[in-house]
Amino acid sequence: MIIFRHRKTDEASFLSHIDAMRVLQRAMRRMHAEVKYSAGFVPHMLTYSTTPLPLGVQSIAEYFVADSPLTGEEELLERFNASVPEGLKADFAAVTASNPNLAAKVTASLYEINAKEKVSEEVLSILDMSEYYMKQFKKGQELDVEVRKKIYSIEIYDDKLRLIAATGNENLRVDSFVQSLARFGVRACANDVTRIEQLVSVDGGFVAAKEILK
């Protein structure tokens, strides 16, 4: 298996998950990655990813896994970056014997929210609340959703808001969350959010997903 940690920034942040996957699969072809295909009636390339980002949210820590026999991290990284558009370039590559199943292991993400104005400390009061409701669209309907348990930490760091929130089965829709912060005077949209890392639970704490691939 070959694994890449790539970004999804600028124009690429507006690509849907399906579109981004297609771009990456074509990149596999361009880099001659010899990725295996499924054995079904309509064979498809065996590639895997982690929880999709909402449209517009940026990231510097997306993981893409392909069932390829290639080895040599440095060369892989070079070939990958020569085969993807600017907004999807990678900064890390790994080779594993089997599928690391990151989609199941990643339980949280670290996000950075770059608000348009200085963020007031009032926003940190979310951590003192027992419930936190935000508006979220589900199947075309706007619903009030309680998400407090999905918010693990919030801090103000370098004038930016840093958030660790649930990812995976219990996922916090970070685009809806950032809109809900308007009640604290935080002016930001989905494109002002960047996923800095995806996190795996280890011994009651979190480590970056790439650490378990080393």
Phi, psi of 180 (to 5 degrees): -65, -20
29 binds other proteins, rule: CB under 8 A: yes
| Amino acid identity at 198 | Q
CB 160 within 8 A of CB 68: no
186 binds other proteins, rule: CB under 8 A: no
52 binds other proteins, rule: CB under 8 A: no
Q: Please tell me the distance from the alpha carbon of residue 105 to that of residue 88, in angstroms, as a whole number.
A: 23
Among 53, 115, 190, 193, interactor with other proteins by CB under 8 A: 190
Q: Which stretch binds other proteins (CB under 8 A): 81-89, 101-109, 140-148, 197-205?
A: 81-89
30 binds other proteins, rule: CB under 8 A: yes
CB 23 within 8 A of CB 85: yes
Q: Is residue 214 classed exposed, middle or buried when 0-12, 13-18 and 19+ CB atoms within 10 A define those classes?
A: exposed
Nearest distance, CB of residue 121 and other proteins, angstroms:
25
19 binds other proteins, rule: CB under 8 A: yes
Number of residues engaging other proteins in binding (CB under 8 A): 29
CA distances in angstroms from 131 to 126, 145, 183, 194, listed in the order given: 8, 10, 15, 25
23 binds other proteins, rule: CB under 8 A: yes
191 binds other proteins, rule: CB under 8 A: yes
56 binds other proteins, rule: CB under 8 A: yes
Tokens describing residue 141: 């309907």
87 binds other proteins, rule: CB under 8 A: yes
Interface contacts to other proteins, rule CB under 8 A: 10-12, 14-16, 19-20, 22-23, 25-30, 32, 37, 55-56, 83-87, 175, 189-191
